[in-house]
Amino acid sequence: MYSELKAKMVIEGVTVEDIAKLLNLHRNTVRAKIEGKSKFYIDELKKIRDEFFPEMTLDQLAKKRAA
């Protein structure tokens, strides 16, 4: 699970739908990526960071919690 991304989404009020629209992906695909069932591509993380969380580094955003 992308724990830092998920926490920041809650704090900032960013929804799965917001990210899905930005990346032009289905919300279920984005949800699977956030939950760690599939992986984000680096360009996807850059887009998310640039649009919603510019104060974060990519390393912070990509931090995962062990399952």
pLDDT digits 0-9 by tens, 31-56: 999 999 999 999 999 999 999 999 99
Q: Mean pLDDT for the chain?
A: 93
Q: What are phi and psi of 51, to 5 degrees?
A: -80, -40
Q: Using pLDDT thresholds of 50, 70 and 90, give the confidence band for residue 67.
A: low
Residue type, 2: Y
pLDDT for 65: 73
Considering the chain, what percentage of its residues have pLDDT values greater than 70?
97
Per CATH, the number for 3-58 is 1.10.260
Whole-number Å distance between alpha carbons of 2 and 34:
5
Q: How many CB atoms lie within 10 A of CB 53?
A: 19
Whole-number Å distance between alpha carbons of 67 and 59:
18
Q: What is the pTM of this model?
A: 0.90
Alpha helices for 1-67 (secondary structure H)? 3-12, 16-23, 27-34, 42-52, 58-61
